[in-house]
Amino acid sequence: MGRGYIVEDVVEKYLSNLSVPGASCVTGLLIGQSSSQRDFVVLAVRTPQKDTEGQGSPSVSRGAGNSLEHLDVEWVTEHARQVSRMLPGGMSVIGVFLVTPPELSKEGQNTLRRLIFAVDKHISKGRLWSLTEEDVTEKVTLHICSKTRKVVCRTYDVRDPKSSAKPADWKYQSGVCTSWPLLTCSVGLNLVFPVLEMHVLPQDMEKCMKEGLQTWAKQIEDGLCLINGDAMPGEVELLGGQKKNAKAVQQTFRAQILIPMAEPQSERRLTASVKVCSGSLTLKGMVQCRAYLHSNKPRAKHATEVIKRDVINTVSSRVEMFLEDLLMEGEDKGSVGVQQVLPRRVFAPVPGMSLCVCDYMFPDECVSDVSDRLKEMLDWETPEDSIDTSQEAVPEAPTIDLKNTVVQKNLKAKSTLDARPKTPSEDPTEAHKSHKTYYAGVAMAAAIALLATGTSLIYLSD
Amino acid sequence: MVVGNIILRLRGSLEFKCQLDSTDVPHVQKVISRTFEALGSQVKAESLVLSLSSSPVFLWPNKGGHATAGEISPNRPCKDLQQLIQTDDQESSRKKSAKKDKKNPTAGIINLTLMTEVTEPGVLSAPTLLRGSKKHHLLQTTLPMDCVVSVLSSESISVVCGTLVGALCSQLSDMEKVALRHMKGTALLIPQPFHFLLPAPVGLVTVVYPAGVPDSQLETRRKELHSLFELPDDRPYLRRANALHFPDEPYKDGYLRNPHVHLNHPALENGKPYLVQGVYSYHHYMQDRVDDNGWGCAYRSLQTICSWFQQQGYVERAVPSHKEIQQALVEVGDKQGSFLGSRQWIGSIEVAAVLDQLLGVTSKIMFVSQGSELASKGRELANHFLSEGTPIMIGGGVLAHTILGVAWSETTGQIRYLILDPHYTGAEDLQVITEKGWCGWKGPEFWDQNAYYNLCLPQRPKTI
């Protein structure tokens, strides 16, 4: 008994329109949701090109010929990780696809197996919530022959490294996600993490934040979730009220998360604990959260799970991005004692569907950067005015020291931003950076801007 | 508890976290006060949520008492909340006897827990990260909030919510005072609330004591409170052991408390009952895995008396075991070393000696040469229960018992004795114990009319 994948028509169109010149191979991701009974695929995205040297296999170096051995698995997994960050709760990378010429079909199966395990491993890294027994751990691999366009669909249980391929059904349908219920909420954060050993090295900050966020994530995971103001028992069907033949419409549910104000102490202490710290990290603000459920009899417990996971993911993603950014720019002089703005979440509609994806904008980026990224990561054009940047308000800008030099630097940064594309080869300052970071160009410019605004005047005062 | 009132108990933990940039006292005090002030704001925030225990109901007290359940609107009387509580009464009613527990006020307590809504929309913007680099001491703990309010059952939910938030604020303020008073350097003793049911008209009060400071060192504070509440200054009301034991919280040690309250008292012409005051535990044969069947009755009566002194707050030491009782007698020279580990009986004199040695309690000894004389001791016994109110150990013939009260008529001379029998060997089954008379009223024929009896009447120490 294999799994059954219900796939949106647009995916079929996308896959058949993929330009696969000659004897090259194309890899990509399959995005959707898995439930215990059924699985849904709503998007397929090819792995973006690594360099701008014209067309050709994006993940196979030129001249390597037809072998799949030169497939850059890391590149594929990194793309998967970046894409995962752009998906609201409920949606995730549930599989990979591979288009090969007929002679490589057999080897392609092995590649797919390697890819799916690697992708799952990479996107699970740094995850602050835990999988439950009810989570589906089967992921799908799709092989497409470039000549015959024949499709072979198999699944692997990524929890078991020795698992073997199981055949699965791949069926196209229209309107798969038109009635997927949407859950929304906005979560306020006011977290203070003590830093026992204060170095300005991002690695130490990262460790400190990770530990603090882990505790917070557990509180959210264990918290109570109300849906539309109601504490529903987990087994209640969310869409219970709908008539069978009623027109499929997307319902929106408001989620509220309640947690105890503090965890009672586990040990019988008589005095408050005292720690000598050399600094602290304060994370404050509000995050907008969204999650989608499938329409196959979703229950209240699934709803609470997906929205909670989105809450945790959005906070950890942007902290990760912020730290990655810091790591790139190296030592950040002068940014201690300054309130730094984390990337804020913006939403963009998926063309032709009632779903949306998200992205994170650094403080000095603009909508066109988001649009570029969507093209790079998800391979579709998004008109700039359809990108919703209003969900998370821009924090009040710290007062800028109006030295001329600073203002000039700012302007320079802005002009760098507007120029495109931002590939490593073009931007000379990028030479030393890892080719794996897609946000390289934009982030670098943003980092310059951050340094510039680093002279601003919010210092930690008692 | 006032009739027509409902008691609401709100518990939860608040996180207390503050950064001390220096350890000099004025700075520390300023920071601590500021932290308590911030907690006060947290408690008044719209994101505060009260969870009604054992129910799917949540209340937002700072949003006018708005609730999750549709049937509960803020202007409904708070007694409506009780109907929403899903108790496991179905289970316990099967175990309870036909003679229903009249004195059980469990129905009147509504338990609530503190929670916060993280999704409460504020005017916050997208997240920012602030890195501070000042060296500091981080003080961190959780405050064990425990507020109790007594309100009219007809009072509206929104008003009751306001009362609860007010109680939280005033408890925070009490905690701040206690924390500052007992602070040494960076050591902050955790303030802990205790509830006491004081005699009318005072009623229910909550006092905050610092953790780790024994009652013996808090006498000054108790003196202040005794004077504030106009309490007598010769008996304890505000020691930690005197704290109110809520009916819905079972005792964890497994002993029955005050089984006598479940009995009907005898109605004597022109007479009334004079009973033990306060709380004691029922100690009897075979408990604590000690097989003392046939020889330990006086030991058990002594244990019951010790439990009384512990629960009224006079002593902090636990109820002594048979071994410890024997050890004490050897120490005072009353018995030889060979006594240890033996199954020798003890009498009232030994009981008095142990009470003195282990608890510092003095006793009066009453002697009757014949059991029939006990019938005339009504006035003396009544006076004992009025002034001291301690359980009495009586030994004579071949038996020892505990007298918990006397019902006596001055005019007719009729007398009954409330007896707690240590010879019971069964389990802690209240129904059996009360129905079979292991705790029950006996007439003067209960005593061996020809044997002589000694009674040990423990005296309350004059202390608060």
Segment A184-210, tens digit of pLDDT:
999 999 999 888 765 556 677 788 888
Q: Span B246-267, mean pLDDT?
A: 90
Q: Span B64-93, mean pLDDT?
A: 74
Which of A229, A280, A345 lies closest to B132 in CB terms? A280
Q: How confident is the model at residue A264 (pLDDT cuts 50, 70, 90)?
A: confident
B421 classed as catalytic: yes
- Mean pLDDT of the residues in chain B: 90
Of A95 and A411, the structure prediction assigns the larger pLDDT to A95
A337 with B122: Cβ contact below 8 A: no
B188 with A226: Cβ contact below 8 A: no
Q: Is the pLDDT of residue B184 over 50?
A: yes
Query: Which chain B residues in 32-51 lie under 8 Å from chain A, judged by CB atoms?
Result: 42, 47, 49, 51
What pLDDT score does A62 carry?
Answer: 39
What pLDDT score does B126 carry?
Answer: 86
B169 classed as catalytic: no
Q: Is the pLDDT of residue A1 over 70?
A: no
In this structure, what DSSP letter does residue B458 have? Answer: E
- Name the residue of chain B whose CA is nearest to A287's CA: B126
| Helix axes B297-311 and B348-359, enclosed angle (nearest 10) | 30
A196 at B interface, C-beta within 8 A: no
A460 with B21: Cβ contact below 8 A: no
A261 at B interface, C-beta within 8 A: yes
Spatial distance between the Cα atoms of A79 and A436, rounded to a whole number of angstroms? 9
Cα B145 to chain center, whole Å? 18
Q: Is the pLDDT of residue B71 over 60?
A: yes
Q: Span A272-290, mean pLDDT?
A: 89
- Quote the tokens at residue B215: 């009652």
pLDDT tens digits for A283-329? Answer: 999 999 999 998 888 899 999 999 999 999 999 999 999 888 877 77
B162 at A interface, C-beta within 8 A: no
- Name the residue of chain A whose CA is nearest to B66's CA: A229
Asked whether the beta carbons of B203 and B2 are under 8 A apart, the reply is: yes
ipTM score: 0.81
Q: Span B230-237, mean pLDDT?
A: 91
Asked whether the beta carbons of A171 and A4 are under 8 A apart, the reply is: yes
- Mean pLDDT of the residues in chain A: 79
Q: How confident is the model at residue A337 (pLDDT cuts 50, 70, 90)?
A: confident
Query: Which chain B residues in 60-79 lie under 8 Å from chain A, judged by CB atoms?
Result: 68
A199 at B interface, C-beta within 8 A: no
Q: Span A156-179, mean pLDDT?
A: 90
Give the side-chain half-sphere CA count within 13 A for A314. 36
- Name the residue of chain B whose CA is nearest to A198's CA: B133
Residue type, A76: V
For residue B16, the chain A residues in CB contact (below 8 A) are: 272
Q: Which of B78, B161, B297, B456 is catalytic?
A: B297
Distance from CA of B13 to the nearest CA of A (A): 5
User: Of A80-84, A123-127, A336-340, which range is least confident?
Assistant: A336-340
- Name the residue of chain A whose CA is nearest to B39's CA: A261
What pLDDT score does A244 carry?
Answer: 57
For residue A460, the chain B residues in CB contact (below 8 A) are: 130-134
In this structure, what DSSP letter does residue A369 have? Answer: H
Residue % of chain A over a pLDDT of 70: 76
User: Of B110-124, B272-286, B323-337, B352-366, which range is least confident?
Assistant: B110-124
Rg of chain A, C-alpha, whole Å: 23
- Name the residue of chain A whose CA is nearest to B115's CA: A260
Which of B19, B117, B120 lies closest to A280 in CB terms? B19
Spatial distance between the Cα atoms of B218 and A208, rounded to a whole number of angstroms? 41
Distance from CA of B70 to the nearest CA of A (A): 9
What pLDDT score does A107 carry?
Answer: 87
Q: Span B21-47, mean pLDDT?
A: 93
Tell me the count of A-B CB pairs closer than 8 A. 203
A278 with B140: Cβ contact below 8 A: no
Spatial distance between the Cα atoms of B84 and B54, rounded to a whole number of angstroms? 8
Query: Which chain A residues in 287-326 lie under 8 Å from chain B, judged by CB atoms?
Result: 287, 315, 318-319, 322
Query: Which residues on adjacent β-strands are paired with residue B275?
Result: B405
Distance from CA of A244 to the nearest CA of B (A): 27
Which of A185, A271, A337 lies closest to B187 in CB terms? A271
Distance from CA of A146 to the nearest CA of B (A): 46
Spatial distance between the Cα atoms of A27 and A96, rounded to a whole number of angstroms? 7
A395 at B interface, C-beta within 8 A: yes
- Name the residue of chain B whose CA is nearest to A275's CA: B138
- Name the residue of chain B whose CA is nearest to A391's CA: B126
Which of A198, A229, A273 lies closest to B140 in CB terms? A273
User: Of A318-322, A399-403, B278-282, which range is least confident?
Assistant: A399-403
Spatial distance between the Cα atoms of B285 and A235, rounded to a whole number of angstroms? 51
Residue % of chain B over a pLDDT of 90: 71
Q: Tell me the CA distances in angstroms from A174 to A92, A368, A394, B401, one per residue in order.
A: 20, 31, 38, 86
Q: Is the pLDDT of residue A461 over 60?
A: no
In this structure, what DSSP letter does residue A264 have? Answer: P
Q: How confident is the model at residue A59 (pLDDT cuts 50, 70, 90)?
A: very low
A271 with B190: Cβ contact below 8 A: yes
Spatial distance between the Cα atoms of A310 and A457, rounded to a whole number of angstroms? 33
Torsion of CA B25, B29, B35, B41, to 10 degrees: -170
Which of A270, A318, A462 lies closest to B127 in CB terms? A318
Residue % of chain B over a pLDDT of 70: 94
Collapsing DSSP to helix, strand or coil, B370 comes out as coil
Query: Which chain B residues in 105-134 lie under 8 Å from chain A, judged by CB atoms?
Result: 113-122, 124-134
Asked whether the beta carbons of A240 and A215 are under 8 A apart, the reply is: no
Q: Tell me the CA distances in angstroms from A217 to A74, B130, B256, B394, one per residue in order.
A: 28, 20, 43, 63
B212 with A270: Cβ contact below 8 A: yes
Collapsing DSSP to helix, strand or coil, A219 comes out as helix
What predicted TM-score, i.e. pTM, was given to this entire model?
Answer: 0.81
B288 classed as catalytic: no
Q: How confident is the model at residue B88 (pLDDT cuts 50, 70, 90)?
A: low
Is residue A434 packed enough to be buried (19+ CB in 10 Å), middle (13-18) or exposed (0-12)?
exposed
Asked whether the beta carbons of A360 and A319 are under 8 A apart, the reply is: no
A284 with B130: Cβ contact below 8 A: yes
Asked whether the beta carbons of B421 and B284 are under 8 A apart, the reply is: yes
**Longest CA–CA separation in chain A, Å:** 74
Q: Span B51-78, mean pLDDT?
A: 85
Which of A187, A263, A319 lies closest to B118 in CB terms? A187
A265 with B49: Cβ contact below 8 A: no
Which of A185, A261, A342 lies closest to B126 in CB terms? A342
For residue B32, the chain A residues in CB contact (below 8 A) are: none
A333 at B interface, C-beta within 8 A: no
For residue A220, the chain B residues in CB contact (below 8 A) are: 118
- Name the residue of chain A whose CA is nearest to B128's CA: A341
pLDDT tens digits for B356-408? Answer: 999 999 999 999 999 999 999 999 999 999 999 999 999 998 899 999 999 99
Cβ neighbours around B369 below 10 Å, total: 10
Spatial distance between the Cα atoms of B90 and B111, rounded to a whole number of angstroms? 19
What pLDDT score does B269 carry?
Answer: 87
B132 with A275: Cβ contact below 8 A: no
Q: Span B62-76, mean pLDDT?
A: 82
Q: Is the pLDDT of residue B80 over 70?
A: yes
Q: Span A162-183, mean pLDDT?
A: 90
Q: Is the pLDDT of residue B87 over 70?
A: no
Q: Is the pLDDT of residue A140 over 50?
A: yes
A277 with B129: Cβ contact below 8 A: no
Asked whether the beta carbons of B58 and B51 are under 8 A apart, the reply is: yes
What pLDDT score does B73 carry?
Answer: 83
What pLDDT score does B2 carry?
Answer: 60
Q: Return the residue matching tokens 């009224």.
A: B312
User: Of A402-411, B284-293, B376-385, which range is least confident?
Assistant: A402-411
What pLDDT score does A435 carry?
Answer: 31
Q: Which of A151, A129, A139 is nearest to A11 (CA)?
A: A151
What pLDDT score does A458 carry?
Answer: 38
User: Of A98-112, A411-425, B106-120, which range is least confident?
Assistant: A411-425
- Quote the tokens at residue B423: 């010879």
Torsion of CA B176, B179, B185, B189, to 10 degrees: -140
Q: How confident is the model at residue A364 (pLDDT cuts 50, 70, 90)?
A: confident
A284 at B interface, C-beta within 8 A: yes
pLDDT tens digits for B153-167? Answer: 889 999 999 999 999
For residue A229, the chain B residues in CB contact (below 8 A) are: 68
Q: Which of B66, B260, B262, B421 is catalytic?
A: B421
